[in-house]
């Protein structure tokens, strides 16, 4: 169904995970959808490549499927610092580690199957949003649409063009990703801590792991210095071949006042994000995409604004907690040791992280952890 005088109901800028998910969700509501991306598949990106059970549930509701043997399951999360080590399992489903181009390929297939029109190598150079309609400018074409969706990532230009950039709070960290050809040594997604640096390791295949290192300040040779500070991890990786070229990234935790204005809405990293260490970026993107389609079907983008705020609440809380642990090495050491002695505390934290427990239960688990810390 296309409104008269328009080329499409929905025009989406950006064909990354958020844009493709938004396209699929909108098609499922019966809207005509065009996606324009400046690049072309396979699109790779610096990412930890870990998808939590809730991320997979959202993907499944969009109808995206993986082939047997793609990616690698993981059963929970481990925190590791020197000799301290604590793990907790997801209570129901497992997570999956999957290379980004594979994830994107599956989303592209699903979008095509749903009838989404995909324009690759098509950078958007401007938009004109309005109260009722707008247009999206490509180098050789203008697309008139009822709704315009900015899914153009962290540095979103749609955010700027539509006036949604103002009053944003941003906290940035620096990251780098490598793939190593090595049999995963753990069935958990591991978060390693040392000083002000973290590394997380996701099993992504029978013979491959993805490693992301993160630090507060930009550093040359971030990977080498992280592995020097974490010799226990460096030893595991020594001698393993690299499976791709190293990719750097900035991880931003951005809070926007609004994710929608008139007929323009933002999804995924364009709409603000959480720190990469939470492994929640993809889940948020997929759940936002579904909420946005519901709001378009109700012809009320303010409904999306409310859903967006609610979805961001828990991951943001978790981001703050992880960043606080990252900045306070001495407290963190004690926290990990207390968790090692009381592994149910990490299980509770994980249950909150995956949405099985509420944010208030996180506060109560935090209080219990605080009491144990004081008792040490
Ligand atoms: C180091 C790191 C590790 C991470 N690890 C995890 C993890 O383990 N698990 C997890 O769930 N999340 C993780 N994340 C977060 C996750 O990667 C992001 O949330 C996710 O990529 C957001 O997808 P997106 O579609 O919003 O943006 P992107 O993936 O950035 O896609 C944006 C798309 O828009 C296109 N585009 C940009 N500008 C234009 C334009 N003008 N015209 C047309 N197209 C345009 C780009 O080509 C791109 O394809 C991590 C992030 C970082 C930085």
What digits encode the pLDDT tens for the residues 110-121? 999 999 999 999
Instruction: Provide the 10 A C-beta neighbour count for residue 49.
Output: 27
Q: Which atom of ligand 1 is nearest to the CA of 200?
A: 8
- Cα 43 to averaged position of ligand 1 atoms, centre (Å): 10
- Cα 181 to averaged position of ligand 1 atoms, centre (Å): 24
pLDDT of residue 360: 64
The DSSP symbol for 129 reads -
Q: Average pLDDT in the 307-323 region?
A: 90
Report the half-sphere exposure of 175 (CA within 13 A, side-chain side): 21
What digits encode the pLDDT tens for the residues 2-32? 555 689 999 999 999 999 999 999 999 999 9
Q: Which of 12, 14, 355 to mutate to test the pocket of ligand 1 (most atoms within 8 A of CB)?
A: 14
The number of angstroms, rounded, from the C-alpha of 308 to the middle of its chain's C-alpha atoms is 14
- Cα 269 to averaged position of ligand 1 atoms, centre (Å): 6
Name 141's bridge partners. 138
- Cα 45 to averaged position of ligand 1 atoms, centre (Å): 7
Instruction: Provide the 10 A C-beta neighbour count for residue 372.
Output: 17
What is the DSSP annotation of 291-353? HHHHHHHTT-HHHHHHHHHHHHHHHHHHHHHHHHHHH-HHHHHHHHHHHHH-THHHHHHHHHH
Q: Average pLDDT in the 183-205 region?
A: 96
- Cα 152 to averaged position of ligand 1 atoms, centre (Å): 8
Instruction: Provide the 10 A C-beta neighbour count for residue 137.
Output: 16
Name 175's bridge partners. 214, 249
Cα–Cα distance measured from residue 136 to residue 14, given in angstroms and rounded to the nearest whole number: 12
For residue 201, give the nearest of 167, 225, 230, 173 by alpha carbon: 230
Q: Which atom of ligand 1 is nearest to the CA of 282?
A: 11
What digits encode the pLDDT tens for the residues 39-50? 999 999 999 999
The angle at the Cα of 76, spanning 47 to 318, to the nearest 5 degrees, equals 65
Pairing of strands 72-74, 50-51: unpaired
3-class secondary-structure state, position 27: helix
Lowest mean pLDDT: which of 181-185, 253-257, 282-286?
Answer: 253-257
Instruction: Provide the 10 A C-beta neighbour count for residue 349.
Output: 22
Predicted confidence band of residue 252 (pLDDT cuts 50, 70, 90): confident
**Which protein residue has the closest C-alpha to ligand 1 atom 31?**
16
- Cα 268 to averaged position of ligand 1 atoms, centre (Å): 7
What digits encode the pLDDT tens for the residues 34-82? 999 999 999 999 999 999 999 999 999 999 988 878 999 999 999 999 8
Report, in angstroms and rounded to the nearest whole number, the Rg of the chain calculated over CA atoms. 21
Q: Which atom of ligand 1 is nearest to the CA of 14?
A: 34
Q: Average pLDDT in the 309-328 region?
A: 88
364 CB-near residues (< 8 Å, 6+ apart): none
Name 181's bridge partners. 241
- Cα 285 to averaged position of ligand 1 atoms, centre (Å): 9
**Which protein residue has the closest C-alpha to ligand 1 atom 15?**
281
155 and 271 Cβ atoms separated by less than 8 Å:
no
> 168: alpha, beta or left, given left = phi > 0 and alpha = psi -120 to 50?
beta
**Which protein residue has the closest C-alpha to ligand 1 atom 2?**
47
231 CB-near residues (< 8 Å, 6+ apart): none
The angle at the Cα of 154, spanning 123 to 253, to the nearest 5 degrees, equals 175
Q: Which atom of ligand 1 is nearest to the CA of 212?
A: 1
Share of the chain above pLDDT 70, in %: 92
- Cα 375 to averaged position of ligand 1 atoms, centre (Å): 43
pLDDT of residue 346: 85
284 CB-near residues (< 8 Å, 6+ apart): 268, 273, 274, 311, 312, 315
CA-based torsion, 359, 360, 361, 365: positive or negative: positive
Q: Average pLDDT in the 292-309 region?
A: 97
Q: Which of 16, 212, 265, 270 to mutate to test the pocket of ligand 1 (most atoms within 8 A of CB)?
A: 16
Cα–Cα distance measured from residue 193 to residue 348, given in angstroms and rounded to the nearest whole number: 20
Helix-, strand-, coil-residue percentages of the chain, each rounded to 5: 40, 25, 35
- Cα 337 to averaged position of ligand 1 atoms, centre (Å): 34
Cα–Cα distance measured from residue 110 to residue 169, given in angstroms and rounded to the nearest whole number: 35
pLDDT of residue 167: 65
The residues lining ligand 1, judged by C-beta closer than 6 Å to any ligand atom, are 13-19, 36-39, 43, 45-51, 55, 123-124, 151-153, 157, 175, 177, 212, 249, 251, 268-270, 273, 276, 279-283, 285
**Which protein residue has the closest C-alpha to ligand 1 atom 4?**
47
Would you say residue 374 has pLDDT above 80?
A: no
pLDDT of residue 342: 84
């Amino acid at each position: 169904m296309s409104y008269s005088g328009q080329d499409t109901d929905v025009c989406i800028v950006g064909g990354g995970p958020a844009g493709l998910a938004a396209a699929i969700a909108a098609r499922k509501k019966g809207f005509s959808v065009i996606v324009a991306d400046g690049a072309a598949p396979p699109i790779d990106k610096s990412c930890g490549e870990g998808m939590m059970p809730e991320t997979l549930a959202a993907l499944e509701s969009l109808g995206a499927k993986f082939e047997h043997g793609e990616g690698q399951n993981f059963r929970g999360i481990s925190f590791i610092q020197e000799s301290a080590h604590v793990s907790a399992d997801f209570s129901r489903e497992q997570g999956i580690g999957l290379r980004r181009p594979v994830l994107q390929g599956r989303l592209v297939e699903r979008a095509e199957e749903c009838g989404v029109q995909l324009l690759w190598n098509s950078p958007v150079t401007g938009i004109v949003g309005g109260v009722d309609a707008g247009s999206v400018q490509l180098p050789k074409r203008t697309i008139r649409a009822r709704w315009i969706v900015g899914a153009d990532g962290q540095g979103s230009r749609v955010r700027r063009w539509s006036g949604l950039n103002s009053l944003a709070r941003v906290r940035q960290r620096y990251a780098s990703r490598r793939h190593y050809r090595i049999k995963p040594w753990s069935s958990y997604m591991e978060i390693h801590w040392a000083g002000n640096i973290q590394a997380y390791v996701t099993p992504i295949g029978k013979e491959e792991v993805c490693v992301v290192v993160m630090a507060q300040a930009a550093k040359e040779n971030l990977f080498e210095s992280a592995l020097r500070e974490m010799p226990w991890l460096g030893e595991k990786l020594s001698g393993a071949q690299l499976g791709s070229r190293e990719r750097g990234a900035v991880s931003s935790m951005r809070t926007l006042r609004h994710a929608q204005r008139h007929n323009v809405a933002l999804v995924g990293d364009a709409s603000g994000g959480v720190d990469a260490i939470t492994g929640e970026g993809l889940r948020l993107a997929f759940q936002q995409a579904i909420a946005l389609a519901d709001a378009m079907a109700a012809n009320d983008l303010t409904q999306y604004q409310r859903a967006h705020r609610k979805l961001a609440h828990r991951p943001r809380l978790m981001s703050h907690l992880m960043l606080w642990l990252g900045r306070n090495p001495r407290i963190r050491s004690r926290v990990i040791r207390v968790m090692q002695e009381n592994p149910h505390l990490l299980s509770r934290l994980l249950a909150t992280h995956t949405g099985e427990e509420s944010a208030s239960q996180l506060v109560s688990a935090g209080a219990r952890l605080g009491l144990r810390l004081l008792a040490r």
